[in-house]
Structure 1
Amino acid sequence: MSLRAARDDDMAWLRRHYHQRRAAEFAPLGWPAAALDAFLDQQFALQHQHYTRYYADAQFLIVERDAAPIGRLYLLRRAPEHLLVDIGLDANQRGQGLGAALIAAAQDDAAASGRGLRLHVEHGNDAARRLYQRLGFEHEENLPTHAAMRWRAREPVATD
């Protein structure tokens, strides 16, 4: 597994990845496939615009395995705490510990700067919430669509 900066030529894959992650959520609406695809395209474009506007100095990273994209990791490194803007893996890559490894690396990076790490998880995404809690994140606040969670780096132990 490796990380690299997202490029313009990743947009088609990122759009498909977004569709894969969100299609099941909207499938119960019973929309025709073309309408669902158009809606998800629009939602992807709006999310991408939001992320690049409000987190312009974030690292937009593509997760690769065998030189093929398998996920994305968007990380904002700034004081007072880093922000995990977004993390997502293809469905066939989940459950293998890759997400936990990516988050643990982000935690190590934040701790090396003496910072914590924040993130937001959608209400109802219980699997992600359990993962974050297992990795030491604590619930901070309920927002309309998400819960804010925070991980605090351990204070160095004083030795005499």
Structure 2
Amino acid sequence: MRRASAEDLPFLQHLYAETRAAELRATGWPQALCERFVADQFVLQHTHYVRRYADADFLVLQLEARAIGRLYLQREASDDLIIDIALLAEVRGRGVGSALIIHIQQNAARTDRGVRLHVDLRNEAAYRLYLRLGFRDTGVEGAYRGMRWDANVS
């Protein structure tokens, strides 16, 4: 992991586009419209994250010297908040996400903090992963399900 910089923005936008690809294919929109939509949505999301979570760690995940994902993590006094995790499609399903979450849990447990996150209701694979890793459902808010892991429970 390393801190994200302005030079990472093209990769981060590409990664964001990958996470929205299936959703956009279902729209039937022309390719140019999909690309413009994703570019605009990335700017909006990135701007929101940087402003809302100004003190967070914005990290690029690397395998050897190659960027493979992102982790946005805010460390707070009582909990760590996983703002966002995304991996390139080619590395999903290989245990990278699980290892990353376990690492976050271990770091939080060292100081008796919990870990919170929100998962898109359509992302059943991520939801099942979080359940397997000891997170509990804290309720639905809009299009997202809140989840929490407590260091003293798992």
Instruction: Determine the C-alpha separation between the residues in 1 that align with 2:14 and 2:117.
Output: 23
The corresponding residue for 1:13 is 11
Shift of 1:141: 1.1
Instruction: Determine the C-alpha separation between the residues in 2 that align with 1:26 and 1:148.
Output: 25
Shift of 1:130: 0.4
Q: Which residues in structure 2 correspond to 1:123-138 (within 5 Å)?
A: 123-138=121-136
The corresponding residue for 1:158 is none
Percent sequence identity over aligned pairs: 47
The corresponding residue for 2:22 is 24
RMSD over aligned Cα atoms: 0.8
Residues 140, 150 of structure 1: 8 Å contact kept:
yes
Instruction: Determine the C-alpha separation between the residues in 2 that align with 1:92 and 1:23.
Output: 14
> 2:147 is matched by which residue type in structure 1?
M
- Relative to structure 2, which stretch is displaced further, 20-29 or 45-54? 20-29
Question: What TM-score does the superposition give when structure 1 sets the normalisation length?
Answer: 0.93
The corresponding residue for 2:40 is 42
Instruction: Determine the C-alpha separation between the residues in 1 that align with 2:94 and 2:26.
Output: 28
For structure 1, which runs of at least 5 residues remain unmatched after alignment?
156-160
Residues 119, 148 of structure 1: 8 Å contact kept:
yes
Mapped pair 1:79 → 2:80: no
The corresponding residue for 2:66 is 68
Query: Which protein has the larger Cα radius of gyration, Structure 1 or Structure 2?
Result: 1
Question: What TM-score does the superposition give when structure 2 sets the normalisation length?
Answer: 0.97
For residues 101-132 of structure 1, give each alpha carbon's deviation from its aligned partner in whole angstroms, at most 9, with x where no partner exists: 00111111111121100000000210000000
The corresponding residue for 2:110 is 112
Residues 137, 150 of structure 1: 8 Å contact kept:
yes
Shift of 1:149: 0.2
For structure 2, which runs of at least 5 residues remain unmatched after alignment?
none
The corresponding residue for 2:152 is 154
Residues 23, 40 of structure 1: 8 Å contact kept:
no
